[in-house]
Chain A
Amino acid sequence: AQKITQTQPGMFVQEKEAVTLDCTYDTSDPSYGLFWYKQPSSGEMIFLIYQGSYDQQNATEGRYSLNFQKARKSANLVISASQLGDSAMYFCAMRHYNQGGKLIFGQGTELSVKP
């Protein structure tokens, strides 16, 4: 079965500190992509970072990095130097290349950044 699991319903982090949001996935298909999206209270889903299953290096985008551990089937998002504007829901998602654009989402983690 294809499934994404985010075990942290809510997280708190102090401003300027780093935080890790957990994501594990389940698939038997070797070809897939992993995504992280941010959803502020406005509702928009903002694409943050992508990791392909065959990528040798962990993806990085500015303050976002993805800790990809393929053998453990985990794709944790690391946000460095947290900012107040990082407070939002964060969703991990997976797509299989042979299934077109179908994204499977996790339940999400609500991140709150404290000043």
Chain B
Amino acid sequence: ETGVTQTPRHLVMGMTNKKSLKCEQHLGHNAMYWYKQSAKKPLELMFVYSLEERVENNSVPSRFSPECPNSSHLFLHLHTLQPEDSALYLCASSPETGSPLHFGNGTRLTVT
């Protein structure tokens, strides 16, 4: 049990679909993050939320839309994705933005 739970574990979607990735943390952390891990590339930070407020948006295309309704939940809404968006999407949390991150197991996304 990592304390950070991501669902679904695997997702296959067409380019015209709309889907959402969910992340939930039970650690009482105040900061949550979305990272993208593509094959052969370093992890890329997408979004940072601190106390439910977005504090960083790393030039991510608008087809990715994050939502943080409370400090325990983080969503990534997906629409009209491209095949190059296929990757492992990792959610993480930390007590505050200056602490080590705790990651979930990730969602393996395939866009067809």
Contact = CB atoms under 8 A, between A and B. Distances in A.
Nearest to A46: B103
Given A100-B50, A100-B55, A45 B90 contact: yes
Contacts, number: 64
B103 A102 contact: no
Contact of A44 (B48, B50, B105): B105
Contacts of B41: 107
B42 A37 contact: no
A106 B55 CA distance: 23
B43 A105 contact: yes
B110 interface: no
Contacts of B90: 43, 45
Contacts of A95: 98
Chain B's interface size range is 20 to 34
Nearest to A96: B98
- The CB with the most chain B CB atoms within 10 A, among A50, A91, A103, is that of A103
Interface in B1-55: 2, 31, 33, 40-43, 45, 48, 50, 55
Interface of B: 2, 31, 33, 40-43, 45, 48, 50, 55-56, 88, 90, 92, 94, 96-106, 108
